[in-house]
Chain A
Amino acid sequence: MFVSINWIKDYVDLDGLDIKKLIDNFTLATAEVEDVYYKGKDIENVVVGKIISVENHPESKKLHLLKVDAGSKVCNIVCGAPNVREGIKVALALAPGRVPDGEIKVATVGGYESEGMCCSAKELGISDDHSGIMEITADAPCGTDIKEILPIEDIIFEIDNKSLTNRPDLWGHYGIAREFSALTGRPLKPLAMGDLSYNGDYSVPVTIGREDLIYRYTALKMEGITVNESPMWMQIRLYYCGMRAINLLADVTNYIMLEVGQPTHAFNAQCIDHIRVDTPKEKMQFTTLDSVERTIDEDTLMIYNNDTPVAIAGIMGGLDSEIVDNTGSVVLESACFDGVSIRKSSSRLGHRTDSSARYEKMLDPQLTADAVGRFVYLVESIDSGAKVASKLTDVYVRKYPAITISFDKKYVDRYTGIEISDERIIDTLKSLGFGVEYNSGEFKVDVPSWRATKDVTIKADIIEEITRIYGYDNFNITTTLSPLKPAPADYGKQEEEEIKDILVKRFSLHEVNSYIWCDGKKFKKLGMDVEDNVKVLNIENSDNGVLRNSMVPTLICMANENKSFSDYYGIFEIGRIVDGTDSDGACNEKKHLGIVLYDKSGDEKSLYFKGIEIVNTLVSQIKQSKPAFEKIEPAHNWQHPKNTAAIIAGDKNVGVINTLYPSVKTKFDKTAAVVCIEIDIDAFNSVSASQIVFSKKSEMQPIYYDLSVVLGPDHKFSDIEKCWTCENIEELESYEVIDTFERLGVRSITVRFNFVAMDRTLEMTEVQKYIGKILENLSEIGVVLKA
């Protein structure tokens, strides 16, 4: 919103004050000022001139050769405007001078010397009217500086509308002026109101249908209006504040909206007989004054004349009842509609206006009367023939309850943490329009109507009023006196960070972040199903609505996009997945670790074992135990039927490791290898860690014994491993696989056993005894010694 300092000065005397500093203070105390514009600063040597003679240019149809009386001299001016006439007064920019578009110099135009330029309103930066030169009607002698007769010089500042969302009172200059009054300690002048008295009996009939959607509706008729155009000072203010002059009545309603914040609507009185405020019985079409036909639904509040719709309440008037230039009599509507209803209607219509934006903020119903008073005052002061032609119709359907707030000084002291004097509190609140009763430390405050629609309701709100005017920069800041207690450690969180460290530092993986929803297009490209799950209802891209039920597919998509990054890499993310819904229908949100490993060389087997190594490391480093793996049926169409295994840590199923289903892998990359790991972080965290058990190692001579055995097709290493671990051989200190060999489907494996005793050098015969037992166990499961 744009605010004019000239306008503010109508209501608060700012003489002698540093305006820039005042605007900075406004930012700190009220709302953020985004920009400040110094209007008219770039206009120099523009004076009132009178056209003495107009001659056609001998060669140009457009150009005219003028002699213009500039007061001190008569100037030769070449002018291309269509409306040049002898005798009119114009804004004459003389060389050397300046207008917003650039410098004015003596120049040759169409072969003739021109000593300056007759300006259009646009060239002076006070309108976007460039249809011709601006005619000056003011009674000022030639040579008068244009800035003396037109309020071109002004300081305009732009407030971030977002910072005004909770302040309906600040959507007009008068409300802003009140803030300036509080900030400067200078009084706020009252609004000049017109005389509404009317001798006749007529009043505009108004019937309210939907009382739930309206607070107050006032209407007044005026007639005898003959002036069509609003005065230049008004046009300039409107233009500087972002609006365009249209005609007197439209301009006055806009002016009032910018001044008191109350939207009003002037109907052509010929179109109004009986006003009815109601919602339509059924959907209908309606053409607004911007000539757009709009669909109005049954929830949108409308203004009718009898049964004919004439306006969308609070949003925009209709084309048919529009004020045109010869409208001599008007019915002014000044109403307070329900903010929520207007907001919803305007968003359904996809049409937000200056008016609806204000209603949304919950306007003060008291304002409707101010707006009517200002309308009559302004119209009558501009057009002396205009007069009030009805009694005021004022249907006050609902009032906001009056709000009184009591608090004591101690409350203020505790909340602020600083000492603000009683007098200062009283002065601040009074300057903002609050009624204050004070009795030895106890305050009783009446909230003014313009702050009582939603903004100020509780004690804490009063604190804000006191402190923002006091100034946060003036606060003496201190630390809290709360006792310092150590924060309890969160072990789950710590483990997550450990996981990240291990994956990054030890396995050189890269941490990524991905979206919580499935990217339908990317999934499809890789042949992965988007599995049924909870959906986002209002996502822009309809392919992406379904929430992921596993971390892996989104990471597979990411890995697929990074094939050019390196020949060998892994990515991981600890993120959230949704594992369906629980019995209440709410999402089963879980925190999962997803890892995807990629190897361009295509050695899937060693990549798979790299995956196993990662899992083993995570479990052994964080839980001091060894995980087990158990083949499972694939749960997703991207998992390989043979190489999908559950990860078991401390008897808990904590995750899955798998390779890709062949067709998915082919789509990913025909020759590369991909391995996926997913670990349920909550399950992993719930696995209790084993204590580190220290054991003294023997210093005796060990005996190494190698066994080469042939495994059957269904044998796993873990099967043969049991054949010696089950014996609990005290002297078996360690064992390792030193060789594996596979040919024609026959797998053989060589295990080296390391036997040692704590207290003596072992005899070979002892070891032979153990080996015999192991071989016995092996043969029981069908594993035989290699020939």
Chain B
Amino acid sequence: MFEKPDELKELFNSKSKEIKAVSDVEQLRIEFLGKKGFVSGLMQELRNVPNEHKKEAGQKINEIKQYIENSISEKMEEIKKLEEKLLIDSAEAYDESMPVSKDMGSYHPITLVKREVEEIFKGMGFTVEDYSEITDDYNCFEALNIPKYHPARDMQDTYYLSSNQLLKTHTSAAQNTILRKYKSNLDSGNPIRAIFPGRCFRNEKIDACHENTFFQMEGIMVDKNISISNLIYFMKTMLSEVFKTDITVRLRPGFFPFVEPGFELDIQCLICNGKGCPSCKDSGWLELCPCGMIHPNVLTAAGIDPEEYIGFAFGLGLTRLAMMRYGVNDIRLFNSGNLRELSQFTEKNFSRPVNE
């Protein structure tokens, strides 16, 4: 009988048991299945087998060959798994809480507030206008129905320039220019809807609540039929958007020469819901926006007939809004350039939902 295949199988099994590495498996494969391996050797020996046994012996060799091939690939899988396990076991588990590079830029908080408010207004069909920081007596006062010697010019201590101009004391200084820019649109049935954010300057002593350089935003809307009722509706809607909650507003008479009637708009305190708390000085209300119906003289100064057109205007203190939004209680932060504090404003735009 042809006994060798069974011996070979035993030999293979015993060698296979010893194997620990992928390279050893390869070695084993060559030893048994290679051109000069044991299985080839058996094939050689088949020549010496008598013809009547050849078929049986051939089958046996094939079986053993099949067996070795399968065992080797199984062994290979087994060893690979083993090696992978070793690799995983020896790998480092990284500590995600380790400090990494803090290299992140920041926006000025005014930019963030401005972007948010501008988005709201753009959504309401308003154009966003740019205006200079330097202007003149005409635009800042005269065209706004604030004649010479009017007490309003005292109220706003103005920085006058050697160029016979001044640093604008309020964004209203842009009203005349912007009304003029768009007045031709009125006749073709397009209302004027514009906001103009900008930096304003007042000759004030600086302390935690006062800055001589700060941001405001002015808004105007002019059309054939604009009413006080529309103004209140608009302000309520707009402020509810800005504060992302339904706002309660109240209007009080306020004196600004460029509007008639003029109002101080208060919003119900968002901290105490009108019950009274330190941040609203126990009144339940916060004075927020001056607003009013554009004074006929202001429209006339811009070449718009006040008998035909009517409009409203409002102001929003962007610096003040930023202080409210971020809980900044010292206005000096904004122009300080103090990166330790300013670098906290990393968000691009916070009009996405945030957890309050």
List A residues at the B interface (Cβ < 8 Å).
27-32, 162-163, 165-167, 340, 343-344, 347, 360-361, 414-418, 458-461, 463-464, 467-468, 472-473, 475-488, 490, 492-493, 497, 500-501, 503-505, 507-516, 534-540, 547, 558, 561-562, 565-566, 568-569, 571, 573, 576, 578, 581, 585-587, 589
Contact = CB atoms under 8 A, between A and B. Distances in A.
Given A166-B255, A500-B107, A483 B189 contact: yes
Contacts of B90: none
Contact of A587 (B134, B260, B293, B339): B134
B348 interface: yes
Contacts of A516: 133, 167, 199, 201, 213
Contact of B165 (A27, A460, A486, A587): A587
Given A480-B234, A483-B191, A468 B261 contact: yes
A493 B261 contact: no
B213 A585 contact: no
A517 to B, nearest CB: 9
A472 B236 CA distance: 13
A515 B335 contact: yes
B327 interface: no
Given A576-B134, A589-B132, A497 B339 contact: no
Interface stretch (B73-81, B223-231, B268-276): B223-231
Contacts of B132: 576, 589
Nearest to B255: A166
B226 A509 contact: no
Contact of B260 (A461, A480, A581, A586): A461
Contact of A510 (B106, B125, B161, B348): B106
Contacts of A417: 227-230
Contacts of B343: 510, 565
A547 B261 CA distance: 37
Given A32-B252, A163-B255, A479-B234, A534 B260 contact: no
B320 interface: no
Nearest to A341: B149
B160 A415 contact: no
B253 A415 contact: no
Interface string B107-138: 11011000100000010011111101110100
Contacts of A513: 108, 110, 213, 334-335, 337
A783 B136 CA distance: 58
Contacts of B261: 460-461, 463-464, 467-468
A343 B155 CA distance: 12
Given A29-B253, A463-B260, A512 B337 contact: yes
B253 A468 contact: yes
B160 A537 contact: yes
B118 to A, nearest CB: 9
Contact of A538 (B126, B160, B225): B160
B232 A589 contact: no
> Which residue, A167, A463, A487, A500, has most C-beta atoms of chain B within 10 A?
A487
A504 B105 contact: yes
B22 interface: no
B338 interface: yes
Contacts of B250: 28, 472-473
A510 B253 contact: no
A239 B156 CA distance: 32
> Which residue, B122, B128, B201, B227, has most C-beta atoms of chain A within 10 A?
B227
A493 B128 contact: yes
B335 A510 contact: no
Contacts of A32: 252, 264
B171 to A, nearest CB: 14
Contacts of B356: none
B104 A508 contact: yes
B158 to A, nearest CB: 8
A487 to B, nearest CB: 4
Given A414-B227, A508-B105, A510-B343, A472 B251 contact: yes
A565 B310 contact: no
Contacts, number: 235
Given A340-B149, A578-B134, A458 B296 contact: yes
B17 interface: no
Given A163-B252, A576-B199, 6 more contacts: A163-B253, A414-B225, A463-B228, A485-B190, A504-B346, A510-B105
12 contacts: A31-B252, A458-B260, A480-B225, A480-B234, A482-B221, A490-B127, A503-B105, A508-B103, A510-B106, A510-B343, A561-B337, A571-B339
A418 B295 CA distance: 20
B286 interface: no
B47 interface: no
Contacts of B149: 340, 343-344
A508 B339 CA distance: 12
Given A480-B221, A516-B213, A586-B165, A475 B229 contact: yes
A416 B228 contact: yes
B162 interface: yes
A497 B114 CA distance: 11
B230 A512 contact: no
A573 B335 CA distance: 11
Contacts of B8: none
Nearest to A546: B162
Contacts of B201: 516
A27 B199 CA distance: 31
A497 B232 CA distance: 31
B162 A534 contact: yes
Nearest to B129: A490
Interface string B45-68: 000000000000000000000000
Interface string B177-200: 000000000000111010000010
Nearest to A459: B296
B159 interface: yes
Contacts of B99: none
Q: Which 10 A-B pairs have the closest CB atoms?
A: A417-B227, A417-B229, A464-B261, A558-B337, A504-B105, A477-B233, A472-B251, A460-B260, A508-B105, A482-B191
B329 interface: no
B127 A488 contact: yes
Given A463-B260, A490-B127, A509 B213 contact: no
A604 to B, nearest CB: 20
B161 A534 contact: yes
Given A500-B111, A534-B163, A537-B161, A480 B230 contact: yes
B12 interface: no
Contacts of A585: 163-164
A24 B126 CA distance: 35
Contacts of A488: 127
A589 B126 CA distance: 26
> Which residue, A417, A468, A561, has most C-beta atoms of chain B within 10 A?
A417
Contacts of B323: none
Contact of B337 (A539, A571, A581): A571
Nearest to A29: B253
Contact of A460 (B134, B136, B263, B295): B295
Contacts of B115: 497
A589 B106 contact: no
A514 B293 contact: no
A591 B164 CA distance: 21
B337 A480 contact: no
A653 to B, nearest CB: 22
Given A511-B107, A558-B337, A586 B163 contact: yes
B244 interface: no
Contacts of A576: 132-134, 199
Contacts of A501: 348
Interface in B216-263: 221, 223, 225-230, 232-234, 236-237, 250-255, 260-263
Nearest to B121: A487
B278 interface: no
A221 B145 CA distance: 43
Contacts of B334: 513
A358 to B, nearest CB: 13
